[in-house]
Chains A and B, each alone.
Chain A
Amino acid sequence: EVQLVESGGGLEKPGRSLRLSCEASGFTFGDYAMSWFRQAPGKGLEWVAFIRKKADGGTIDYAASVKGRFTISRDDSKSIAYLQMDSLKTEDTAVYYCVRDSGTYHYFDYWGQGTLVTVSS
């Protein structure tokens, strides 16, 4: 059974940093691209960051709203994806989801339950 478990969320002040982790199980992690999405309270879904599998170069894409502040990475030996969030803003407050890419095309077949990040002074 595919499982994605996020951790690392919490309350942080503007300008500070947080690192989210996503532990994956039930599939060969290194064979899949991974992504982070977020959902602000009462709002819709927003794609945040994407990292390809090593076989596809491991390249990365970011949403404009987080580019230069957030860093996605992966450790295939541990089956963990990370999202380093620096220079946090109040508008980064959201539930953050770790998500598995389906494969050839970028729709997403497995989602974690999410971790809440609250940025407030």
Chain B
Amino acid sequence: EIVMTQSPATLSVSPGERATLFCRASQSVRSNLAWYQQKPGQAPRLLIYGASTRATGIPARFSGSGSGTEFTLTISSLQSEDFAVYYCQQYNNWPLTFGGGTKVEIK
């Protein structure tokens, strides 16, 4: 099973600032990585797939990069609606696995 590790667990950021979230895989997942956003009481929402392709309707302030074992999600200028938990998910191998999440909170 591929283990996905996200860091940091919590990120405190002021509105308008840049946020950088990290996701590491225990073995290569090539570019088969997705990012999801989850707000309290809501289902996850797909943000990024293929490590760097924004899903339909996702604002350009969200960007993903990386391949192999190291990935990054960047939110260029945090808006109030971006404070949430973010998960990475690999789909290169079965079983599908998620990272433990990064909570982006207001500083």
Tally chain A residues at the interface, Cβ within 8 Å: 19
Per-position 1/0 for B76-100, Cβ under 8 A of A: 0000000000010101001111111
In the complex the two chains form, what is the Cα distance from A40 to B40 in whole Å? Answer: 13
Q: Is residue A13 within 8 Å, beta carbon to beta carbon, of the partner chain?
A: no
User: Is B43 in contact with A114, judged by CB distance below 8 angstroms?
Assistant: yes
Pick the contact of B95: A44, A64, A109 (CB < 8 A).
A64
Q: How far is the CA of A50 from the CA of B95 in the complex (A)?
A: 10
Q: When the two chains form the complex, which single residue of A45, A46, A64, A108 contacts B46, counting CB atoms closer than 8 Å?
A: A108
CB < 8 Å: which of A44, A50, A109 contacts B101? A44
Which candidate, A18-26, A83-91, A99-107, is the interface stretch facing chain B? A99-107
Contact in complex: A106, B91 (CB < 8 Å): yes
Nearest residue (CB) in A for B87 is: A45
Q: A50 → chain B, closest Cβ, in Å?
A: 8
Q: Which residues of A contact B100 (CB under 8 A)?
A: 44
Q: Residues of B contacting A75 with CB < 8 Å?
A: none
Q: A107-B34, A107-B49 are in contact. Are A97 and B43 (CB under 8 A)?
A: yes
Pairwise interchain contact A61-B94, C-beta atoms closer than 8 A: yes
A111 and B32 alpha carbons, distance in the complex (Å) = 19
Residue A105 contacts which of B42, B43, B49 (CB distance < 8 angstroms)?
B49
Known interface pairs A45-B98, A47-B98; A111-B43 also in contact (CB < 8 Å): yes
A114–B97 alpha-carbon span in the complex (Å) = 19
Determine the residue in chain A with the shortest Cβ distance to B93.
A106
Residues from chain B with a CB closer than 8 A to the CB of A63 are 95
- Given A64-B95, A111-B44, output 9 extra A-B contacts at Cβ < 8 Å: A44-B87, A44-B101, A97-B43, A102-B46, A105-B32, A107-B91, A108-B34, A109-B56, A113-B42
Chain A residues proximal to chain B, CB less than 8 Å: 44-47, 50, 61, 63-64, 97, 102, 105-109, 111-114
